[in-house]
Amino acid sequence: MNTQRNINAFRLSRVLGAFFLAGLLSSCAMMSAQKAKDTEQLLAAAGFKMNLADTPAKLAHLKTLTQNKIVPHQKDGAVYYIYADAANCQCFYWGQAQAYQKFQQLQVQQNLAAEERMTAEMNEEEFMNWDTMGYGMGGDGMGFY
């Protein structure tokens, strides 16, 4: 009887572990898709052009390219910057040096804005008057009453 309980507990732990892993992978996939979407918005704002992989042959070729990363390619003596996304939009973005430089500037601006937002949130936290708010946070711990 004890052995059967152990077997059932083991099976249950495997099932729960599988659900946990599936949830974790799903969360990672959603974060990756959001990051790709954010990057693609910056690419479009910087002047990159988007081309859909609208045939099976184009999609197959798109999948052979480096995914979700801007990579320089040369064609007819000119450098083109390519960003391929076969998983989400099934498209690629392409631009020349001017668009790539604009993309980099937009990324820097976006990062600065995020840092400023974080700094503002930290400053707000710093000036929080916990005693006035009545949370009883004096002494040894954070005794929320």
- Report d(CA 103, CA 44) in Å as an integer: 9
Please list, in sequence order, all residues whose beta carbon lies within 8 angstroms of the beta carbon of residue 88, skipping any fewer than 6 positions away: 33, 36, 37, 40
- Report d(CA 23, CA 127) in Å as an integer: 37
How do the domains of the chain map onto residue ranges? 34-131
Pick the closest to residue 63 from 75, 72, 53 (CA basis).
53
List, for residues 67-121, the tens digit of each pLDDT value.
999 999 999 999 999 999 999 999 999 999 999 999 999 999 998 877 878 877 7
Asked if 47 and 66 count as a contact pair (C-beta separation under 8 A), the reply is no
Mean pLDDT across the stretch 20-26?
49
Residue 92: φ, ψ to 5°: -135, 150
List, for residues 38-75, the tens digit of each pLDDT value.
999 999 999 999 999 999 999 999 999 999 999 999 99
Q: Enter the DSSP assignment of 72.
A: E
Q: What is the pTM of this model?
A: 0.60
